[in-house]
Structures are given as structure tokens and as C-alpha cells.
Amino acid sequence: MKITTNSNDIEMKEKIITLFKKEWLLIAGGITGAIAGYLYWFFIGCNSGSCPITSSPLNSTLYGIVLGALFFSLFKKKESKK
């Protein structure tokens, strides 16, 4: 069995790599925020279930992703227009 790759696969891989190189800071912020959000739910959380963000691990993890990406985006250099 011969494995072949066509040019569309190679172009798609190159686009993904280029996107990752451009947006690595946001991705790192999202991952860090997800871990922090989950840990916040695990250690602090909300026992009564009435807290909209911290009552569920999914909610606090998603919230952490958004906050982490926003926080890390503060450190991104602005692209200059030429």
C-alpha cells in the first residue's frame, strides 16, 4: 500500500504551521487559561451550584480560555503597515 500526499494536503499543512507561528501567543494563553480555569473550579469552585461560572468545570475552563487568550494578547507586538 502506497501512501501519497497531494499538493492540497501540503498547502493545508503549511497554512496551519503559518497560523500557529503567527498566533502562538494566543494559543499559549488559551491553554494556560484553560488549566487555570479548571484548577480554579477544582480548588475554589462553587458548592451551592448557584454561581454561573464556577459551578461547572466546563464553564470555568471556557471562561479561563477566553481570559487567558485576552491577557496574553496584550503582549503581542503590533504589525507595522508599510
Confidence at residue 45, expressed as pLDDT on a 0 to 100 scale? 83
Confidence at residue 2, expressed as pLDDT on a 0 to 100 scale? 59
User: Is pLDDT of 65 > 80?
Assistant: yes
Cα separation, 50 vs 59, whole angstroms: 13
pTM attached to this predicted model? 0.74
Confidence at residue 9, expressed as pLDDT on a 0 to 100 scale? 79
Q: 43: helix, coil or strand? A: helix
Grid coordinates representing 18 are 503559518
* Lowest-pLDDT choice from 2-6, 20-24, 76-80: 2-6
Distance of CA 56 to the CA centre of its chain: 19
Grid coordinates representing 23 are 498566533
